Amino acid sequence: MRIELEKRANPSTLYSILSPFLALALTVVAGGIMFALLGKDPGSALYSFFIEPLLDVWSLHEVAIKAAPLILIGAGLSVCYRSNNWNIGAEGQFIAGAIAGAIVPVVFHDWHSPLVLPLMLIFGMIGGALYAAVPAFLKAHMNTNEILTSLMLVYIAQLFLDWLVRGPWRSPDAYNFPVTRDFAPEAILPELVSSGRANLGFALAIIAAVGLWLMLRYTLKGFEITVLGQSERAGRFAGFSSKRMIWFSMLLSGALAGLAGISEVSGTIGKLQPIISPGYGFTAIIVAFLGRLNPLGVIAAGLFLALTYVGGEAVQLTLSVSDKVTRVFQGLLLFFVLSCDTLIQYKIRLVFSRLGQSTEGGAH
């Protein structure tokens, strides 16, 4: 027996729009089953996972804090994936951006100036972009697969950060803890509103997402991204260069991941430490797909996945389940989004033998 995917002649427009919501519903159902199997009441578990965080001002701030890097990275990845370049290493670019941006407050900690923060953000973007330039160069000139190279570079970045904070950048005042010195006040991203911790990073994320949406929707550059993503040959006919697009999309998504990295370090953590991300760079891949590779959709998807982080922490406290629950939810969500998209475009056909393509009555 063999399973075949057959392209549907007219995929339903309604279902393509509904697809992410369908995936959400399925994730909630599957999550409920998971809680039941863990011996918890699914109703109250799902309530504290998805609803409770929305009821308190402080937890809404937490959602915004976690959504900011997801939206920043996810919006960049949307552009990248639309152009058929598969940057999987945003996590590494996030760390590279954090390290590059932290050069100013860590190495030049005696320098105090209002320029510190803007410089940090710019350095962060450059750091992320440079780190993404490695797989971009390898793909454009050596024809390597960017999925593998960008992913492998994540682990290098993580280990490099670990070495930095244990070695050359370790704070002299931290009793041998592997952290850098605390950033000076002018190196901290200011809070957005007085009611809580959410910082300027969230505003940056919204601005970036809206800007990218405008670019995709209205400009020739956006058109170029779509065309090259759909058909490289047609892009070449139009005079667009797929090599330049590799550079553009990788550097753009790298720079945004780097900006997310330095924003997180500067706005939320206030110093460098061995672990600075709960996997934002990977979760942003889910955000990009859940948001239909549309930067505005990414804003909504980013907020939702931020909720899974906050909700995961909540059920960890109230129901004492493992913190891996968050990861499971995110994994389920990606699985259902991709399955829904696939089944809307294709239908499944079971073929029982190669030759006996059922003879009677139109098997199609």
Partner 1 sequence: MLAVRSLTKLFGSFAACNGIDLDIKSGEIHALLGENGAGKSTLVKMLFGVLAPSSGQILWKGEPVRITSPGAARRIGIGMVFQHFSLFEALTVAENIALSLSPGISLSKVAEEASRLSHLYGLPLDPNAHVADLSVGERQRIEIVRALLQNPELIILDEPTSVLTPQEADRLFETLAKLKAEGRSVLYISHRLEEVQRICDRATVLRHGKVTGACNPRQETPASLARMMVGRDVASVSAAGTNTKGDVLLEAKHLTVPSRTPFAVALKNVCLKVRSGEVLAIAGVAGNGQGELFDALSGEYPVTDPAAVSIRGKAAGNLGITARRLMGAGFVPEERHGHAAVTTLPLSDNLVLARSQSDRKTFLAGGLLGIIRQAVVRIASKRISETMDVRKSGENPAAGSLSGGNLQKYIVGRELDRQPAVLIVNQPTWGVDAGAASRIRQALVDLAKSGSAVLVISQDLDEIFEVATEIAVISEGRLSDAYPAHDLTREKIGLLMGGMYGKTEGEVADAH
DSSP-derived letter for residue 175 is T
Scanning residues 297 to 326, which ones bind partner 1 (CB under 8 A)? none
Q: How far is the CB of 261 from partner 1 (least distance, A)?
A: 28
239 dihedral zone (left: phi>0; alpha: psi -120 to 50; beta): left
141 vs 236, beta carbon nearer partner 1: 236
**Residue 223 binds to partner 1 (criterion: CB under 8 A):** yes
Binding window for partner 1 (CB under 8 A); candidates: 102-110, 171-179, 235-243, 246-254 = 235-243
Cβ-contact 263, 97 below 8 angstroms: no
Sign for the pseudo-dihedral over CA of 315, 317, 319, 323: positive
- Residue labelled with tokens 């951006």: 97
Task: Give the binding-site size for partner 1 (rule: CB under 8 A).
Answer: 25
Q: How far is the CB of 296 from partner 1 (least distance, A)?
A: 18
Cβ-contact 93, 128 below 8 angstroms: yes
- Rounded to an integer, what distance in angstroms lies between the CA atom of residue 206 and that of residue 182? 28
Decide: helix, strand or coil at residue 360: coil
12 vs 230, beta carbon nearer partner 1: 230
Tokens encoding 150 = 């960008």
**Residue 5 binds to partner 1 (criterion: CB under 8 A):** no
**Residue 227 binds to partner 1 (criterion: CB under 8 A):** yes
Binding window for partner 1 (CB under 8 A); candidates: 14-22, 122-130, 168-176, 215-223 = 215-223
Q: How far is the CB of 359 from partner 1 (least distance, A)?
A: 5
Please report, to the nearest 10 degrees, the dihedral formed by the alpha carbons of residues 308, 312, 315, 316 taken in order. 180
**Residue 357 binds to partner 1 (criterion: CB under 8 A):** yes
**Residue 344 binds to partner 1 (criterion: CB under 8 A):** no
Rule CB under 8 A: choose which of 112, 141, 221, 324 binds partner 1.
Answer: 221
6 vs 41, beta carbon nearer partner 1: 6
**Residue 230 binds to partner 1 (criterion: CB under 8 A):** yes
Q: Which residues of 205-235 are buried (b: 16+ CB within 10 A; e: fewer)?
A: bbebbeebbebbeeeeebebbebbbeeeeeb
**Residue 356 binds to partner 1 (criterion: CB under 8 A):** yes
293 dihedral zone (left: phi>0; alpha: psi -120 to 50; beta): left
Rule CB under 8 A: choose which of 113, 237, 322, 351 binds partner 1.
Answer: 237
Scanning residues 9 to 68, which ones bind partner 1 (CB under 8 A)? 9
- Rounded to an integer, what distance in angstroms lies between the CA atom of residue 337 and that of residue 286? 9
Cβ-contact 186, 117 below 8 angstroms: yes
**Residue 219 binds to partner 1 (criterion: CB under 8 A):** yes
DSSP-assigned states of every residue in 42-66: HHHHHIIIIIGGGTSHHHHHHHHHH
113 vs 226, beta carbon nearer partner 1: 226
144 vs 358, beta carbon nearer partner 1: 358
233 vs 324, beta carbon nearer partner 1: 233
Residues within the interface to partner 1 (CB under 8 A): 9, 218-221, 223, 226-227, 230-231, 233-234, 236-239, 355-359, 361-364
